[in-house]
């Protein structure tokens, strides 16, 4: 049985990617996969400081960020990681890239880790090693079926309730959430 890519593919030739991962191996792997998918621009960062600079200095439309990305100590003197980095970007109302798609990668996708990644504002969580077809399908899914973004005092990111039940959806649970139009990514934007 052969693996098959999504029938409706997206044109990634004009999408600027940022791969933020401390591992040389994984940065190279993601770069090669993205080039293989048709991307022409892939920026790389080994730490949060470099990734932050690239996000503001370069045209970045999509970020792949490792959960173990090292960052500066936070106010509790705890070293920050990729989740803290994504959360900081999402919650910064003035950040020019706060609404771009962000995928978190991690070595072990335990339920609690996936929940933490979802709660920081990641669009998806991928377990390493990442199969090429899975990465491509997640990029395609984000472009073709974007979820609305929600904005509250403690969260900005894609709607975390993206699985619908038999009743046609889940009710809104928090009164303070408002739908944002900042994060809408049309499929045409990726072509």
- If one compares 140 and 6, the residue with the highest pLDDT of the two is 140
| Summary mean pLDDT of the chain | 82
Is the residue at 92 inside a domain?
yes
Asked if 44 and 19 count as a contact pair (C-beta separation under 8 A), the reply is yes
Is the residue at 54 inside a domain?
yes
Range of the domain at 67: 16-160
Structural domains counted in the chain: 1
Is the residue at 21 inside a domain?
yes
pLDDT interval class at 2 (50, 70, 90) = very low
What is the C-alpha separation between 93 and 102, in angstroms, rounded? 16
What is the C-alpha separation between 105 and 27, in angstroms, rounded? 11
pLDDT interval class at 174 (50, 70, 90) = low
- The residues, any chain, with a CB within 8 Å of residue 42's CB and separated by 6 or more, are 17, 18, 19, 30, 31, 34, 35
- The residues, any chain, with a CB within 8 Å of residue 10's CB and separated by 6 or more, are 139, 140, 143, 144, 187, 190, 191
Is the residue at 153 inside a domain?
yes
Can you give the pTM of this predicted structure? 0.77
pLDDT in tens, 106-161: 987 666 677 888 889 999 999 999 999 999 999 999 998 888 888 988 888 888 77
Is the residue at 42 inside a domain?
yes
- Report the CATH number at residue 67: 3.40.50.2300
Is the residue at 182 inside a domain?
no
Asked if 144 and 8 count as a contact pair (C-beta separation under 8 A), the reply is yes
Q: What is the DSSP letter of 82?
A: H
Is the residue at 114 inside a domain?
yes
Is the residue at 169 inside a domain?
no
């Amino acid at each position: 049985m052969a693996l098959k890519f999504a029938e409706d593919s997206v044109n990634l030739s004009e999408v600027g990617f940022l791969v933020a991962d401390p591992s040389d191996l994984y940065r190279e792997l993601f770069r090669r996969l993205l080039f293989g998918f048709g991307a022409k621009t892939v920026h790389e960062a080994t730490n949060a400081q470099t990734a932050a600079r690239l996000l503001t200095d370069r045209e970045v439309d999509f970020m792949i960020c490792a959960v173990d990305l090292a960052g500066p100590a936070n106010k509790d003197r705890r070293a920050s990681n990729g989740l803290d980095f994504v959360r900081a970007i999402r919650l910064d109302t003035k950040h020019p890239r706060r609404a771009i798609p962000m995928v978190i990668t991690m070595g072990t996708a335990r339920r609690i880790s996936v929940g933490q990644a979802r709660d920081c504002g990641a669009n998806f969580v991928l377990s390493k090693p990442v199969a090429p077809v899975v990465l491509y399908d997640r990029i395609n899914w984000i472009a073709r079926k974007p979820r609305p973004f929600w904005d509250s005092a403690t969260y900005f990111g894609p709607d975390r309730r993206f699985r619908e039940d038999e009743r046609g959806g889940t009710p809104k649970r928090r009164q303070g959430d408002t739908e944002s139009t900042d994060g809408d990514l049309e499929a045409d934007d990726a072509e």
